[in-house]
A and B are shown apart, each in its own frame.
Chain A
Amino acid sequence: MPYKIRVVSSYIYKRADVSYADMGKQNRWVNGFVSALVRRKSGMREFDLQFVRTPDTHEELCVLADEFRREGVQMLICPGTDSAIRVAAAVQDLPIIYFGAHPENNGLELIEQRNVTGIRLNLPMIWNWENFKLIKEVMPKLRKLYFPLNLRSEFAFPNVRSNYRLFRARGDAFWIPGDSTHIGYRSVAFLADRLGVEYFEGPYDSLAELESGLSQADTTHAAFTGFNDTVLQGAAAAALIGFTREHNQPLLWVNNAAIIQREGLLDYSSDFEGVGKIVGTMALDFLREGRPFESLGFREDPGHKTALSLWRCRELGLEVPQATVDKMNQVFA
């Protein structure tokens, strides 16, 4: 009997032709997963692995979970913290292995749930100074760094959301400056300050609000950053990409080299192929070797990769030193 696993992901898209739809294929976590099976003399013939998009509501998730139980699903894999938090809220019995980031440790209480374990990803752009300062090596004249943040994603953690609510209630502006007490991610503000750039967070609740916010940004020597929360709403990703193209602005991304390959400048991604190998190993340990789920243990990030688009550098008039180009794991010419 094949082992029944369902991958419940917020990153499955109805449209296959948009740049962010390739995220899963580009980051190769599935390749890593399969590679782990092959190493342990297993293969897809031993698995019934199906992919399901995370439903939009908790109620729909509960219905999906019931379906999984009826099918005899033995394990869930949740790529991404957003999916993991939402699925874990609806499922307390089926084992869940997830991989996702917890900026400033937000949401990490998830691993206290007995049926949840996985891999903690470090957001590679902000994880250390060496990574973060690459931004200025690529764009020496950078003065402003903008981070729009999707309030409808689980990345807007409750404490962050509360702080944003206070700022938004004032109705002053869209962008929260880095020295404001309402900043959600103080660590990024510190990094930006050290880099000598101004930092802004822009929480948005709708596409219209994002578009309005983008139009309020000062685009002189600026750059804009997207994350996994952006691609949770496809229109938001398209809006951010469209804005940076229209206004000839650098676009940075975290965990989506596929977007940078087609549209942007610089991506920082976790080593998802390495992540997939860990998930595959954990799955075999639990399902084939019979190891207790609680004994699998929460794992650390296996590493990260950077990707630079040289063609976008040329379009933006950026002359990136070869020493910086040589630091990149992937270069799109």
Chain B
Amino acid sequence: MNVQKRVIDVLITVEPKLAEGVDFTASTTIAALGIDSLKLVEVGVLLEDAFGEDVTFDDWLDAERQLGDSEQAFALGSLVGFIEKAVKE
């Protein structure tokens, strides 16, 4: 399963305008994609559905919150890496 593609598909499902020429990179943040807190809940629900009980989206959110206001917080690369690690374990 291509985790990155699956994550991007979920993001586009939640925010359809992202289908139009958005450059998804590892450093792209959730906020930069215009995903607000409620849509983020939906992202989490869809990702947990997609990847099963190995993935607890809240765990990723808690870890990212530790980064505070860092520009690295809530980046796609981190989310993809988190899911890849979770499904391998």
Contacts and interface: CB of A to CB of B under 8 A. Distances in A.
A167 B44 CA distance: 50
Interface in B1-53: 13-16, 38-39, 41-42, 44-46, 49
Contacts of A38: 42, 45-46, 49
Interface string A13-56: 00000000000000000110011011000011100010000000
B45 A45 contact: no
Nearest to B49: A38
A interface majority secondary structure: helix
Nearest to B17: A45
A288 to B, nearest CB: 16
B44 A44 contact: no
Given A44-B38, A44-B39, A34 B45 contact: yes
A24 B45 CA distance: 16
Contacts of A31: 41, 44-45
10 contacts: A30-B38, A35-B45, A37-B42, A38-B42, A38-B49, A43-B14, A43-B42, A44-B38, A45-B14, A45-B39
In the A-B complex, the 9 residue pairs with the smallest Cβ-Cβ separation, listed nearest first, are: A34-B41, A34-B42, A35-B45, A44-B42, A44-B39, A44-B38, A34-B45, A38-B45, A43-B42
Interface of A: 30-31, 34-35, 37-38, 43-45, 49
Interface of B: 13-16, 38-39, 41-42, 44-46, 49
Given A34-B38, A44-B41, 15 more contacts: A31-B41, A31-B44, A31-B45, A34-B41, A35-B45, A37-B42, A38-B42, A38-B45, A38-B46, A44-B14, A44-B39, A45-B14, A45-B16, A45-B39, A49-B38
